[in-house]
Amino acid sequence: MITCSFVIPTPLQEILPPEAIWNHDIKFVTGQTYQIIAPSGRGKSTLIGLLAGLRGDYSGQIHINNRNTQQFTTQDWANWRATGASFVFQDLRLFPNLTALQNIQLAQNISQPIATINAIEQWANQLQIKHKLMQPCGELSFGQQQRIAILRALAKPFQWLMLDEPFSHLDPNNTQLAWQLILEIAQQRKAGVIITSLNPYANILCDHTLSV
């Protein structure tokens, strides 16, 4: 379980919107899906950054599995990112000179291999991207790269899947396919999902929706 108790990111302290996710007591329960909908500049990516341990500029308290993250060491964060949570960042963070498959497998090499090459190919097939697996990521379109980043996140172990505007460059059909795959695998692993977007998706239904 992840709890955010009256968290305010430092850059948002001046312009804090009244009914934000910020400065409230919010619980994210493992196994549940959460959609956070907000316009730009309201701190969607900041929330993912805080939960990934990438930034520490906030007031309030964040607890991950009942531990205050202020007390996390860099090694605790590394462990969390290796097996606790898996991310799709808004800027994707793929390696353009590695092939799509190498990108996916790199994450696997870091933690325990959890998906076989067959599984990865099957997932890629579901997302209609299998034929791009051997191409360098730098040569793929942003929408194709988004799907590779989703596959990379799915291929490593996680209790939480955190996706920052993962479908921004996908058409509704591909969005639907990707969301299905995400839900399927998250349910298999009894994992929680946090997904952010600018607008509500017509074909995505989450257990909880937090609108800012």
Measure the CA dihedral 204/179/35/167, to 10°.
-100
- Residue 23 or 105 having the CB closest to other proteins: 105
Q: Check if the beta carbon of residue 33 is closer than 8 Å to that of residue 192.
A: yes
Cα-based angle 203, 122, 191 (whole degrees, multiple of 5): 55
Least Å from the CB of residue 36 to other proteins: 19
Q: How is residue 44 annotated by DSSP?
A: H
Does 114 interact with other proteins (rule: CB under 8 A)? no
Least Å from the CB of residue 174 to other proteins: 24
Least Å from the CB of residue 159 to other proteins: 13
Does 102 interact with other proteins (rule: CB under 8 A)? yes
What would the x/- binding string for other proteins be over residues 28 to 67, using CB under 8 A? Answer: ------------------------xxxxxx----------
Distance in angstroms (rounded) separating the CA atoms of residues 192 and 33: 6
Locus of tokens 């899906």: 33
Does 130 interact with other proteins (rule: CB under 8 A)? no
- Strand ranges (DSSP E) for 103-165? 160-164
Which positions touch other proteins (CB under 8 A)? 10-11, 52-57, 74-75, 77-79, 81-83, 87, 89, 93, 95, 97-98, 102, 105-107, 109-111, 152, 156
